[in-house]
Structure 1
Amino acid sequence: MAKLPPPVLKYIYAQFLGDQSLAYFLTDRQGKVIERGGDLDRLNLNLPLPGDTITDALLFMEGLLPLDTPSLQIPCVKMESDLSVDVHLFPTSEGYGLILVDATRTENKRVRLQQKANELVLLREKHARIINQYLGKGLAEQLLDLNFNQSGERKKIAILFADIRGFTQYAEQRDAGQVFDMLNEYLSVMIQPVLEEGGMVDKIIGDAVMAIFGILPSGFNPAVQVLHTAFKVIENVKLLGSKCADPHRAALQVGIGIASGEVILGILGTRERRTLSVIGHSVNLASRLEKQARPGQIIIDKTTYNAAGQLREAFTPVQLKLKGIRGPINAFVRDSAW
């Protein structure tokens, strides 16, 4: 390798080491220290001294000599002084060279990332427990009582999709724990009306809820049940926002899409953990309508509108072009200011 001028060496040192401390040891082939130098004091390396056997003074070196590879790098080795160093061991013409680079900053970052990962695991477990509250054994027992055909059956129901508008952008600027606690508050006020109106929470997907009506025996019109639920969700979210000092959180609103029609129902899972799988055009339609709804809006399909009785007065007709659905469809919109 060509000899490098001091300015080049200085640049390389600054570029790859920065303000990290570095110490080095040169030994003979028996591992006795010939020379040492660098930031020995900063790395708290009083030993080994020249003439000492390096494996006696640095315990992590035990078993590494003689070196049987061209070089050896071991990241983040914990020293007896509790410092972490990156170890670089390589052969020289006289024996071996050992370079120790301060890795305390890297180790601290790794520890912080591990702590963050542990926090996220705890949040996921907490989220799972909350979801089980709504989709757990109680629902499994109800589904068993209904004696649905395992291979699926057709049934006319109403489907609701509700999504918190602006939540993703809000969450990107907040701590994970803060986001989860806030999301739990919003999901609670969105889910409770579903349960009150005799509906069933089918899925919770991030900041969105899918609910179905007409499955559990109630004696009520599913179209009326789903609309009462939607009205309550809009008002609950608005009330929750009005209590928040954070203007960005106070501005969060929900968009809702609703459709009614015949779907195929089937039970998936084990006896301990069962849930419904709902398939059909009305499911896709409700999802597409929700995507079209602006903050605070409820958009319903014509079938739901025709079955809504006096609740139809809250809605105005509109034609929409929806992704994946041929031609414009007749839909009906209720704004939050209604």
Structure 2
Amino acid sequence: MTSTISPPDLQSPAPDPWEPDAVPKMLRPFVDFVARIDARLETKLLGAFLGISILMLALGIVGLFVVNRMENQVDKLVTLQLQSQNADDMLYSITSQSHFRTMALLTGDPVWTEKIDTAKAQFSALIVTTEDIAVGEHGNLFDDLRAIDGRYAAAGERVAALEQAGDVEGALDAHVQSEHEISHEIEDLLNKFIADTELLIANEVGDFAGRRTFITIALATFSFMSLAGALALGAIISWTVIRPVRRIDHALDTLANGDFTSRIHVPNRDEFGKLSENVNRTSQQLADLYKKLESVNQELQTKVEDQVAQLERTSQLRRYLSPQVADSIVEGGLTETRREELSIAFIDIRGFTVLSEQSEPEEMATSLNRFLTHMTDIVFEHGGTLDKYIGDAVMVFFNDPVPQPDHAERAVTMALNMQKELVELRTDLRASAFVEITAGVGISTGFVTVGNFGSPARMDYTVMGNHVNLASRLAGDAGPGEILISERTLALLPTGFVQFEPAGHRNLKGVQRPIALYRVLRQTPEPTPHQPRTETKRDSEP
């Protein structure tokens, strides 16, 4: 396996597509100025919002000023109109008094006298009201009106006195020569006052029209300038954010694509400036790490190749050795011999000698390999170490090289499963070769020597000791389908683990004294938790 990683060219920085030309030329000096302000981003944003708010506030104040001026002019026009109307009413009041006086003298009806009094009161009230709201310079107009009105009232009293004295003709002459003439004086003053008021109204209307045009243009201009200033300020502050964001986004995009050469250049002296520095520093660190990654990758490739080779060697070893032994050899853990308590099992197969006489060698090999394959699978299923095949026998031991505190249980369970499997195999072989294949199993537990034995040219990982010989003798002495175990093996089994029966004391070849044997019948469906039996008469075993 070879590396496919190629480091980027760290000497040539990647081009940045977001050049300053992306900012409008008119705004670029202002954007650069704001970007170089040494302040936090929220301070700049707050300042921009404050500036825009001030512009909007100024626009509102100007609008209020314009509205107030227009309201003042409208109020003045309304006052002038009221002033003119009051003058007309006063003129009517004076004229009506003269008419009422003539009717009163001609008819003698007191109703006309009452109307005269009402008109006089109305005239006096209008003088006060009009004086209060008077607009413009009118000199002593109202004082003159009051003085003439006083003479007019005195003349009226004289006419009324003549009328009451019964001198109607004299009263009429007095009215025409005195009261009527005085009324003309009042009318002349009021007509002049009305003419002056109308002139003021005309001038105010013209002034209002001219000011309205000016105010409209000024307000529109100021509004446009305010809005333009607010938009420009918003654009400036926006570009101080958009420009670094785009550049940082471009740099991160190049980083995501595996190019660690991109660097960010922004004039900002706020969070974006610090962020761009961090991105640049990250890019440099990633570039350095990328270089180291190439070296690590090469080392990793070498280690992977070594591991693959080791796995291949382990796989080859497992074709000839048990998995535990193969793993220990690969790991270098089988260097010294040692003494351990192991459970050793021999499986003595019967019937293959007859099969070899009745079958062709190829058929014989096929049947034997089939049998041994099933038996070997069961050995490995229970964690046993397959020592060797001895003709048509199999030697297995437990508790080495992997420690197994329940090694006796494993050995007995393996033997029971082998006998069960052999029943099915025997049926198949009987149908094809008419041969009865059986097996006797012997299991012995005790201390033996385990390790590598042989010469430097050829080594075997095996066990040696009396219990190896005892297990072999038990297998040979066991009947078809029978499992014989030693007393030590039975002592290590949990109470109720299997059903068994004594097989007596037997004199076995190579063993100096009779050995107590036990025959395993079957496994208890639900054995109790592991409680080894109390050992008895250990001296009965070798």
Question: Partner amino acid for 2:321?
Answer: L
Q: State the SS of the aligned residue for 1:243.
A: helix
Question: Partner amino acid for 1:156?
Answer: E
Sequence identity percentage: 31
Q: Which residue of 1 aligns with 2:510?
A: 324
Q: State the SS of the aligned residue for 2:400.
A: coil
Deviations 1:271-312 (A, max 9, x none): 998541311111010001011011100000000010111465
Q: 1:193 aligns with which of 365, 369, 378?
A: 378
Q: Structure 1 236/210 Cα, relative in aligned 2: closer, same or farther at 3 Å?
A: same
Cα pair 1:143 1:274 within 8 Å, conserved: no
Q: Whole-Å Cα distance in 2 between the matches of residues 285 and 210 of structure 1?
A: 12
Confirm or deny that 1:171 pairs with 2:356: yes
Q: 1:139 aligns with which of 290, 304, 325?
A: 325
Cα pair 1:140 1:272 within 8 Å, conserved: no
Q: How does 1:51-200 map to 2 (within 5 A)?
A: 133-135=319-321, 139-143=325-329, 145=331, 147-150=333-336, 152-200=337-385
Question: Partner amino acid for 2:349?
Answer: I
Cα pair 1:131 1:204 within 8 Å, conserved: no
Q: How does 1:292-311 map to 2 (within 5 A)?
A: 292-310=477-495
Cα pair 1:255 1:290 within 8 Å, conserved: yes
CA shift for structure 1 position 137: 8.5
Q: Structure 1 218/154 Cα, relative in aligned 2: closer, same or farther at 3 Å?
A: closer
CA shift for structure 1 position 251: 2.2
Cα pair 1:159 1:286 within 8 Å, conserved: yes
Q: 1:216 aligns with which of 401, 406, 418?
A: 401
Confirm or deny that 1:253 pairs with 2:253: no
Q: 1:277 aligns with which of 462, 482, 491?
A: 462
Q: Whole-Å Cα distance in 1 between the matches of residues 321 and 461 of structure 2?
A: 10
Cα pair 1:297 1:336 within 8 Å, conserved: no
Question: Partner amino acid for 1:192?
Answer: D
CA shift for structure 1 position 165: 1.2
Q: Whole-Å Cα distance in 2 between the matches of residues 275 and 336 of structure 1?
A: 34
Question: Partner amino acid for 1:181?
Answer: T
Number of residue pairs the alignment of both structures matches: 209
Q: Which residue of 1 aligns with 2:419?
A: 234
Q: Which runs of 5 or more residues in structure 1 are unaligned?
A: 1-128
Deviations 1:118-175 (A, max 9, x none): xxxxxxxxxxx9996141787333245473443x210110000001112212212211
Q: Structure 1 245/227 Cα, relative in aligned 2: closer, same or farther at 3 Å?
A: closer
Q: Whole-Å Cα distance in 2 between the matches of residues 184 and 211 of structure 1?
A: 17
Q: Whole-Å Cα distance in 2 between the matches of residues 216 and 206 of structure 1?
A: 24
Cα pair 2:474 2:484 within 8 Å, conserved: yes
Q: Structure 1 219/293 Cα, relative in aligned 2: closer, same or farther at 3 Å?
A: closer
TM-score by length of 1: 0.55
Give the structure with the higher percent strand: 1
Cα pair 1:157 1:261 within 8 Å, conserved: yes
Q: State the SS of the aligned residue for 1:216.
A: coil
Q: Whole-Å Cα distance in 2 between the matches of residues 222 and 232 of structure 1?
A: 15
Confirm or deny that 1:243 pairs with 2:406: no
Give the structure with the higher percent helix: 2
Cα pair 1:256 1:289 within 8 Å, conserved: yes
TM-score by length of 2: 0.35
Across the aligned residues of Structure 1 and Structure 2, the Cα RMSD in angstroms comes to 3.1
Q: Which has the larger radius of gyration?
A: 2
